[in-house]
Amino acid sequence: MRREHHLPVSRTARYFTIGEPHASLAELWFVCHGYGQLAGRFVRHFESIDAPHRMIVAPEALSRFYVEVAGKSHADTHVGASWMTREDRLSDIEDYVEYLDALHAHITAQLEGAKPSFTVLGFSQGVATVSRWLERTTVRVDRALLWGSTIPADVDLNAAPAFRAARITSIAGTADEHATADMLAAQKARLTASGLSHEHVSFNGSHRIDREVLGRLATTSR
C-alpha cells in the first residue's frame, strides 16, 4: 500500500537586502515577491526608497523553477520562484512561516538593540504568503501592505494577533486583474467585520509596483 510521508530537512534560503542593520535603525521592511519572481529582481523596486534609517529585506521563496516560454529551452528562459502550489500546500505554508520567522530573528539579532518599526509588504502571491505568516507568527508587525492581491479565504482574521496589531493597507492598480474592484470590496467587508483597521490606495495602472505610490507609503511608514 502506498503511503505519503514527510521528513523535515535543512534548506539554504536566499534573501537580498537594501540598507544595513545598525543601532539607530528606525524602519525594517520585509518585502515578499510574487509568483515566478526572484527576490534579487523584485527588491530593485525598492531602491527608490533606500534611506539610512530604513533596511529592506527581500526573502526569496524556497521553490525555484524555469519559467516556461514556448519555443525556448531552459538555458534561455528566466528562473522564477513560488511560495507554494496546491500540491502539499500545508507543508509549504509551514515551511515558509518557519523560514520568515527565522529570517526575522536573524535580522533583528544584528540590530544592536534598535527597535525599528516593522513593515511587511506582499506583492501578488506574496500577499497570501504574508497573510498566512501574520496569521501564525508571534512577531509584532506595525504595518501590513497588501499589494496586488487579497487575503486568502482560509486566513482566520479573528485569530491572527499580528494582523490585529498592524495597520493594514491594500494597494492595487485600477486595471489589476488580480485585485479587482469586487475582490477588494469583499476584502474590505471582511476586514471591517473582523474589526481590523484598514485603508485602500489605488493608482492608474495594472499589476505592478508603482514607484510614486511606494514613495508615498514610505514617507508615512512611521
Q: Are 42 and 208 in contact (CB under 8 A)?
A: no
Instruction: Tell me the three cell numbers of residue 32.
Output: 515578499
**Coil, strand or helix at 116:** coil
pLDDT at residue 75 tops 70: no
Element (H, E) at 94: helix 89-108
Q: Is residue 182 part of a domain?
A: yes
Q: How many domains does the chain have?
A: 1
pLDDT at residue 74 tops 90: no
pLDDT band at 85 (very low <50, low <70, confident <90, very high): very high
pTM of this structure: 0.94
Query: What b/e sequence results for 80-94 when a residue is b if at least 16 CB atoms lie within 10 Å of its CB, and e otherwise?
Result: bbbbbeeeeeeebbe
CATH of the domain at 166: 3.40.50.1820
Region 95-120 average pLDDT: 95
pLDDT of residue 113: 87
Q: Is residue 3 part of a domain?
A: no
Q: Is residue 156 part of a domain?
A: yes
Q: Is residue 6 part of a domain?
A: no
For residue 164, what are the domain limits? 15-219
Q: Is residue 5 part of a domain?
A: no
pLDDT band at 160 (very low <50, low <70, confident <90, very high): confident
Q: Is residue 30 part of a domain?
A: yes
**C-alpha dihedral over 50, 51, 55, 61, to 10 degrees?**
-10
